[in-house]
Copies of this chain bind each other. A is one copy, B any other.
Amino acid sequence: MVVKVYGPDYPSPKRALVCLIEKGVEFETVGVDLFKGEHKAPEYLKLQPFRSVPVVQDGDYTLFESRAIIRYYAEKYKEQGTELLGKTIEERGLVEQWLEVEAHNFHPPIYDLVLKIVYGPFIGLTPDPKQLKESEDKLCQVLDIYEERLSKSKYLAGDFFSLADLSHLPFTQYLMGKMGKEYLIRDRKHVSGWWDDISSRPSWKKVLELWPGLY
């Protein structure tokens, strides 16, 4: 049974897509048009009651929340494709730590910027410059800590690529495109090198080629 991934055009589902490619797992995608409200349709809510993407269906197993999905496939196919959870329980602990940092420190300010700047024009939202500045300042504080961390290890959880790095791909990509906020990455030597490394992986290039979204 081929894995079905819902919502490939949006950033969070891209975590699942890039993970499945890294693990060499075959999948197909199912479009969900958020602008048309397809995530609020009764059939969709049976799969994902919180009205968000992605969902995966794998035979009769259904899973939502992108960071849960990537953990599941990294574990299920541990012996196949790229190792994404580290080799020891201690390494996995650090992968979990930086995945949580991504979710709780990095994600809220970058999500706010992306929502307002990239998606705002499509949903009739005019950003307040003061709020944008606040989010950018918060993101800078997080990136300063990343800069320090990445001066000591090649990737966030250590000297190995992991889910913690992968999870940053979909939203960081916006900064590098039409948003014109590349400087947030380029002004930080180690963050910049890390971004070049992780974003040049064939898995991520393939995701961008197949589902360019609004980058």
Q: Which residues of A are interface residues toward B (Cβ below 8 A)?
A: 49-50, 61, 63-65, 67-69, 71-72, 75-76, 89-90, 92-94, 96-97, 99-101, 103-105, 142, 145, 148-149
Whether B65 pairs with A97 at a CB distance below 8 angstroms is: yes
The interface residues of chain B lying within 8 Å CB-to-CB of A94 are: 63
Report the copy number of this chain in the oligomer.
2
Ranked nearest first, the 5 interchain pairs of A and B with the lowest CB-CB distance are A65-B100, A68-B96, A72-B93, A68-B97, A49-B145
Give chain A's interface secondary structure class.
Answer: helix
The interface residues of chain B lying within 8 Å CB-to-CB of A97 are: 63-65, 68
Whether A145 pairs with B50 at a CB distance below 8 angstroms is: yes
Q: How far is the CB of A205 from chain B (nearest CB, A)?
A: 27
Given A76-B89, A103-B103, A104-B103, residue A65 in contact with residue B145 (CB < 8 A): no
Q: Identify 19 new A-B residue pairs, CB closer than 8 A, beyond the known A61-B93, A72-B93.
A: A49-B148, A49-B149, A50-B105, A50-B145, A61-B90, A63-B94, A63-B97, A65-B97, A65-B100, A65-B104, A67-B96, A68-B97, A69-B93, A71-B92, A71-B93, A72-B96, A75-B89, A75-B92, A103-B104
